[in-house]
Structure 1
Amino acid sequence: MNNGFCAILTKDRLYQGIALYRSLSHNVKAMKFKMFILCIDDEVYYILQKMNLMNTTLVHLSEIEEKDMLKLQRERRMNEFCWTLKPIFLQYILNKYLEIDRVTYLDADLCFFSDPAVIFTDEPHADILLTTHDFEDHFQHAENECGRYNSGFISFKRGHNSEHCLKWWKENCTIWCYDRIENGRFGDQKYLDWIPQIFHGVSEIRTPGVNIAPWNQLKYRFSIKDGMVYINNSPLIFYHFCGLRIVNGGQIVLTLEDTGLITAIHRPYFYILDDIIKSVSGIKSDFRGFFIEEGRIAIGKYHTIKG
């Protein structure tokens, strides 16, 4: 099966997006894959072109011919606009690249620590794969607000079922996709709660080690065995660095409630980011892909990238 992965990158997500690509290309072994990156900014497109990433197709935003897209871009904040683009980009890939049998959307702040192929072999007949948040008790209230499922990893197998689901998701996101909780909706994500009720062939990912994140990491024991990161007795497949913001060349801020650094995953990630920032600077010395979110950064906890 030819698997495609895709991500949407803005200027302030470029460094993490490159880290995502590196982690994926390093860990994917037997499974054939291709990476598709939708570049929102001209600078992002330019830098990634210069990096000449293997197995990667770059798509400039101007190539997505979607009705009312420019209007939505003007009306919505950048993160809201990118959320709106998720089903549109997934649809674009399946329509244009007929050799791709399955396409999986990845948030830029994911990082893979082992081969994700097991996710798909565990659910071989699923048309649509959804990732649960798996909130720990302390965060359970967030499920009612943000949804049972996390849209940072969502996968569609080519076929009519996926086509209908993506069309439905796109139509809803086009009408309403905002960074707030309103009438049972939240961004692109709360819509996912309805997908198992409306469509067939939908499965929750049951594979251990998927979407470990600040909101559930205290449920697990982290360890390193034979050079691999484990959670409890299973390999960590990917960690979701949600809330992590790179604010300058040497510091990051954790904007979610701080549960402490996990040395086995945070330190390697910081070193990778440090190397990527230097590499990008070598391509475009005046590029600054840092977040400016005064409110969230003010309440976050600072850490040094170089550790």
Structure 2
Amino acid sequence: MTSSIRCFTSVNNCYLPKARVLAESVKAHHPDWQFDLVLSDTPIDPFDLEKEPFDTLLTLDQLGVENWQSWAFMHRVVELCTATKGMAAMRILEEHNPNFLIYLDPDTAVFNSMDNLIDLLHTHPLILTPHQLCPETELPAIIDNEICSLKHGIFNLGFFAVKNAGQGRDFIQWWNERLLHFCYDDIPSGLFTDQKWCDHAPVFFDQLHILRKSNYNVATWNLAHRDVAMGDDGTILVDGRPLRFYHFTGYDSGAGATMLAKYASSNTVVNELWDWYARQLERHGQEQLGRCPWAYSVFDNGEKIENAMRRLYRDRKDLQISFPDPFDTSREDGGFLAWWQMGHDR
């Protein structure tokens, strides 16, 4: 019997070009896989699913969060797009009942078949990839990579794969419960969005498989230890094996280019790969959508939401009760924004 496999990613509108590149790359190697898009934004107008490389669209109001407007207001954009990953995974597993579910960050592209992952999932219900596979030897790299992982998480949650049974389902349920309440970029408090939580995973889930193959989840944080080359047949190879997927982290901020120059400046294959990615993004609307404003960055009257507003609102249960939709400024009392502007009890 053929296995049912779904893949998904989570974005706001400015990452839609990246999600299109990712979905196309998945479908190129696995046309039978279903691809779900999770959107923490207001869909662009027009958004025609028939013309997109996605099979389904999930928006915030469809994820089953009680009073989702209140919950969304507590998060900045990256926090929200990562907080939805657990509940989207739960919904996909429950609604579509696939045998296996794979998540990939939108700034990722697949370059070869990932059937080996599915083979692993038959015996390992949960698969994660660490940021590093071997110790750094130079002080700058220790700071850039190992210390960075200590702050942001040992595992990169730009990828995970689960079997829809046993510890695969147990992991998703546990992770989702944590993300519902604690998916914040707050490193001093021990939190980094969805990722830092998974430092617990090897202890809580003894059937976890740590994928140590260097041709998966290649990115600037591990390029120093991975030999990326072009095979005679045009296949990109990593340590002699076909590249499965590459994570173009830091593309928009410029951090990716900085780290690329630092750790792979002389590698023409890697630099050509980044050039290829730039062309694919432009083909999918990067110029039009790449700077698209996030719907939840403002109140419904267009006034910008400050980070301090979000923090105070999520720390104060009384405010959540008084202003169940904090985006709303049309109330007679002006809503949360008017309360804030009056300087009440802050």
Q: Which moved more, 1:79-88 or 1:256-265?
A: 256-265
CA distance in 2, matches of 1:143, 1:221: 21
Q: Deviations over 1:26-75 (max 9, x none)?
A: 1226xx41111112233348435252436x12223322222243222111
Residue 227 of structure 1 aligns with which residue? 234
Identify which of 117, 122, 125 aligns with 2:123: 125
CA distance in 2, matches of 1:42, 1:176: 23
Matches within 5 A, 1:10-29: 10-28=12-30
Alpha-carbon shift at residue 118 of structure 1 (Å): 1.5
Amino acid at match of 2:132: D
Uncovered stretches (5+) of structure 2, i.e. residues with no partner: 294-346
Amino acid at match of 1:205: L
TM-score, normalization by structure 1: 0.82
Identify which of 218, 222, 225 aligns with 1:216: 222
Identify which of 149, 153, 169 aligns with 1:147: 153
CA distance in 2, matches of 1:40, 1:200: 32
SS at match of 1:47: coil
Q: Which moved more, 1:60-69 or 1:139-148?
A: 60-69
Alpha-carbon shift at residue 237 of structure 1 (Å): 0.7
Change (3 A) 1:221 1:200: closer
CA contact (8 A) 1:19 1:111 kept: yes
CA distance in 1, matches of 2:189, 2:257: 24
TM-score, normalization by structure 2: 0.73
Residue 82 of structure 1 aligns with which residue? 81
CA contact (8 A) 2:24 2:53 kept: no
CA contact (8 A) 2:214 2:226 kept: no
SS at match of 2:284: helix
Residue identity (%): 21
CA distance in 1, matches of 2:44, 2:211: 32
CA distance in 2, matches of 1:53, 1:40: 18
CA distance in 1, matches of 2:121, 2:214: 13
Change (3 A) 1:183 1:75: closer
CA contact (8 A) 2:163 2:169 kept: no
Q: Does 1:289 align with 2:287?
A: no
CA distance in 2, matches of 1:108, 1:84: 15
Alpha-carbon shift at residue 142 of structure 1 (Å): 1.5
Amino acid at match of 2:10: I
CA distance in 1, matches of 2:252, 2:82: 18
Matches within 5 A, 1:53-202: 53=53, 56-98=55-97, 100-134=98-132, 137=136, 138=141, 139-202=145-208
CA distance in 2, matches of 1:229, 1:211: 14
Amino acid at match of 1:3: I
Which one has the bigger strand percentage?
A: 1
Alpha-carbon shift at residue 168 of structure 1 (Å): 1.5
Q: Does 1:41 align with 2:41?
A: yes
Q: Deviations over 1:168-217 (max 9, x none)?
A: 11221222111231333221101111112112421111333111101111
Alpha-carbon shift at residue 111 of structure 1 (Å): 0.8
Coordinate RMSD, CA, aligned: 2.4
Residue 267 of structure 1 aligns with which residue? 275
Alpha-carbon shift at residue 131 of structure 1 (Å): 1.2
Which one has the bigger helix percentage?
A: 2
Change (3 A) 1:126 1:46: farther
What count of residue pairs does the alignment treat as equivalent?
276
Change (3 A) 1:64 1:45: farther
CA distance in 2, matches of 1:106, 1:157: 15
CA distance in 1, matches of 2:73, 2:167: 32
Change (3 A) 1:116 1:232: same
Runs of 4+ residues deviating >4 angstroms: none
Residue 250 of structure 1 aligns with which residue? none
CA distance in 2, matches of 1:140, 1:156: 26
SS at match of 1:140: helix
Matches within 5 A, 1:292-303: none
Q: Does 1:242 align with 2:244?
A: no
CA contact (8 A) 2:49 2:56 kept: no
Amino acid at match of 2:147: H
Uncovered stretches (5+) of structure 1, i.e. residues with no partner: 247-252, 282-286, 293-307
